[in-house]
Amino acid sequence: MYYLAGRDAALAGLRAIAGNRQADLDDLRVPYRDWLGRRQPTVTIGGDITLRRTEFCDDPELKRAIIQLNTGHAESHADLAPEIFDAGTVRRRIAALEGALERLREVDTDVVDLFELVVNRVFVGGDNAVAGSTSSSIGVTWATLPNDYPSGDLVEFLVHEFTHHLLFIDDAMFQHYTDPQGAATRGLTLSPVRGVLRPLIFVLHSLVVAVEILKLRRGPVGTMPTTNFFHPDTQHLHDSCVACVRSIEASVESLSLLSPRGLALFNICRASLELHSPRPRPADSPRSER
What is the pLDDT confidence band of residue 125, given thresholds at 50, 70 and 90?
confident
Q: Is the pLDDT of residue 286 over 90?
A: no
Which residue ranges make up each domain of the chain? Answer: 2-275
The pLDDT > 90 percentage for the chain reads 61
Strand 121-124 and strand 55-57: pairing?
parallel
Q: Which residue has the higher pLDDT, 276 or 59?
A: 59
Residues 6+ away with beta carbon under 8 Å from 55: 46, 49, 120, 121, 122
| 23-57 confidence digits (pLDDT tens) | 999 999 999 999 999 999 888 777 777 888 999 98
Long-range contact pairs involving 32-40 (C-beta distance under 8 Å, separation at least 24): 32/117, 32/118, 36/120, 36/138, 36/139, 39/138, 39/172, 40/69, 40/136, 40/137, 40/138
- What was the pLDDT predicted at 282? 37
CA 235 to chain centre: 21
